[in-house]
């Protein structure tokens, strides 16, 4: 019992300092757009209207800004997104800081 109490106290004390990622959306993608304008160098993943767990501020669009991520990360994100779009599978995209900037992508049929 004492061990469980200690664990509970640690979790309660630490939890305010741990930030959880926030969903941008979960669903299928209707478009992947790659921008290379002088004022906008980014990739945007546009979700279908029936997507769930959406961040209303993002309007079903997750964004990767080139200057915020390294090339390897961008390549991995783009590969997963394109595979999902071409196969019609669902993806979950989240943001570490609650914005529309994508920091995580998962190819998954259910949200967990």
- Cβ(43)–Cβ(34) below 8 Å: yes
What contacts 11, CB < 8 A, 6 or more positions away? none
pTM: 0.78
What contacts 55, CB < 8 A, 6 or more positions away? 22, 23, 24, 25, 95, 98, 100
Q: Which domains does the chain have, with CATH numbers?
A: 20-107 (2.40.50)
Nearest to 65 by CA among 27, 112, 97: 97
Residue 10 CB-density burial (10 A; 0-12 exposed, 13-18 middle, 19+ buried):
exposed
Check whether 21 has a pLDDT greater than 90: no
What are the tens digits of pLDDT across the range 26-69?
999 999 999 999 999 999 999 999 999 999 999 999 999 999 99
């Amino acid at each position: 019992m004492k061990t469980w109490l200690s664990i509970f106290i640690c979790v309660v004390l630490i939890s305010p300092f741990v930030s959880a990622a926030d969903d941008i959306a979960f669903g299928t993608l209707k478009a992947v757009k790659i921008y290379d304008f002088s004022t906008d160098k980014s990739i945007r993943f546009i979700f279908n209207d029936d997507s769930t767990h959406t961040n209303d501020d993002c309007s079903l669009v997750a964004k990767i800004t080139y200057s915020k991520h390294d090339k390897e990360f961008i390549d991995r994100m783009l590969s997963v997104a394109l595979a999902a779009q071409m196969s019609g599978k669902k993806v979950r995209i989240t943001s570490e800081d609650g914005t529309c900037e994508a920091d995580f992508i998962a190819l998954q049929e259910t949200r967990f």
